Amino acid sequence: MSSIVESDAIARDSAFNRGLTREQRKNLVLASLGSMLEFYEFMVFGFLTVIIARQFFPASMPDAVKTFQAFAIFSLGFLLRPLSGVILGHLGDRIGRKKLFLFTVFAMAVPTLMIGLLPTYAQIGIAAPLILLTLRMAQGIAIAGEFAGAAVFVFEHSPADRVGYALGWMMGGSYLGFFMGAAIGALLSHALDPAALASWGWRVAFIAGGIFGLIAVYLRRSLDETPLFKEISKIKATGGNIPLLNLWRQHVNATLFVTGCGAHLGIMVLIVYFYMPTFLQVQYGLSSGTTFNANAAGLFILALTCPIWGLIADRIGAARVLGISACGASVLVFLLFRGIDTIADGQAQLMWWYMAISAFMGSAVAVALFSAISFPTQIRFSGFGLCYNLGIVISGLTPTLLALLVITYGKASVPYAALVDGALGVALAVAASQIKQYPRAN
């Protein structure tokens, strides 16, 4: 494995020793559009979970149970991601990164648009949550290849000594989708009264996302294939290469490591930006405007700091960035939960907490870098697509498990989940620091 990774590094050095051209920068921006849509829809669903639960389940059902079922639909949307990730990844390794990009963003845009147009439980009964689940599953299939493809595309278009920085910009652009989702949630909650938001306002967020996705399909037609894939295509073996078998036979450690990275990042993101808005509204009575504003501010800081963390990773190593971020973010989340009673009495504090936590989310850049560099070019898309998405499936259970934890043990039990995830991140950082082929400072 190390010899293959080393040859990749040499190829990238020779191909990109002059840095990024204007055309390459354009490719990186276009590559981020699909992930931006993914993160946008992800955040919109999280912010509107309370409303979605009330629209797609019987009115007679308790709010806690409806919220649990809405989170369950969200979690079930992740189940097909590992299988679809390896299938789409295999196709990406076979026919190219660009062609898969056009498919995945289209396959995300259409279900997002359809959710915004979907009739409610009051209109079509049990069919409403079933169709919602189907659309979430369809999104999961497309998303499995989208983020992996974007990260691989950026990785293979970047100079060897600027990989972290380039991925930092990609992640920052993607997290702008989170910010846009948070911003539209805040805008709708301020502009509309609760009745209008519940009646039709929530649909605006999904319809806007679907339209944005269709625009991204059009813009992505001008993407260039990556130089590394073009080179590999010239020397690729003529047959018999099955990426999934290759992963398990030759890259078991990398498979387990990247799966763990995906789980760590997904759990932290879900706790902070997805679960907390609903948790604070349902359990502590904070207004939707307060939680939306805090999330929007935090996500804006996250988008701004990703390129900085990428630059730091290029200087001191991605393993150290992962360790620092895991410790900082998990401790701050734990302290936020522990002091939530005081914060609920002075709601303006919540925004500062979110901004502080977001400043320590450098693990996003480290995880993207590790997920790409852990596999050789021939199976990079397949390896990233399978392993990262396996981790995301694990993390996708987080909101449902936390909701169940609250029902069973009470809300005071929730903050310990952040510490467990932080410990996982530190363990992964220690493991990464022992692997020579991962990027380290000179």
Q: What is the pLDDT of residue 83?
A: 67
Best CA proximity match to 37, nearest among 127, 101, 133, 94? 101
- CA–CA dist 431, 410 (Å, integer): 35
Residue 313 pLDDT > 70, yes or no?
A: yes
Q: Which residues contact 347 (CB under 8 A, 6 or more apart)?
A: 286, 287, 290
Best CA proximity match to 387, nearest among 244, 228, 267, 274? 244
Torsion angle (degrees, nearest 10) of CA 373, 392, 365, 438: -30
Write the pLDDT tens digit of every residue in 97-108. 666 767 778 888
Helix axes 97-117, 202-219, angle to 10 degrees: 160
Residue with tokens 């936390």: 402
- For 62, the enclosing helix (H) or strand (E) is none
Cβ proximity of 77 and 396 under 8 Å: yes
99 CB burial (10 A radius; 0-12, 13-18, 19+):
middle
Q: In which band, very low, low, confident or very high, does the pLDDT at 8 lie, cut at 50, 70 and 90?
A: very low
Write the pLDDT tens digit of every residue in 141-155. 777 677 777 788 788
- CA–CA dist 26, 20 (Å, integer): 10
Q: What is the pLDDT of residue 174?
A: 82
- CA–CA dist 273, 309 (Å, integer): 19
DSSP string for 169-219: HHHHHHHHHHHHHHHHHHHHHHHS-HHHIIIIIHHHHHHHHHHHHHHHHHH
Write the pLDDT tens digit of every residue in 357-414. 999 998 899 999 998 888 887 778 778 878 888 888 888 788 778 878 878 887 777 7
Residue 115 pLDDT > 80, yes or no?
A: yes
Q: What is the pLDDT of residue 224?
A: 60
What is the rounded average pLDDT of the residues 82-97?
65
Q: What is the pLDDT of residue 436?
A: 53
- CA–CA dist 59, 56 (Å, integer): 9
Whole-number CA gyration radius for the chain: 21
- Rounded mean pLDDT of the chain? 78
- For 221, the enclosing helix (H) or strand (E) is none
Write the pLDDT tens digit of every residue in 9-67. 434 444 344 455 676 677 677 777 777 887 787 778 877 877 888 888 887 777 777 77
Best CA proximity match to 427, nearest among 248, 313, 256, 250? 256
Residue 222's CB is within 10 A of a number of other CB atoms, namely 11
> Which of helix, strand or coil describes residue 333?
helix
Q: In which band, very low, low, confident or very high, does the pLDDT at 438 lie, cut at 50, 70 and 90?
A: very low
Q: In which band, very low, low, confident or very high, does the pLDDT at 245 lie, cut at 50, 70 and 90?
A: low
DSSP string for 230-281: HHHHHH--SS---HHHHHHHH-HHHHHHHHHHHHHHHHHHIIIIIIHHHHHH
Fold category of 2-227+243-433 in CATH: Growth Hormone; Chain: A; (1.20.1250)
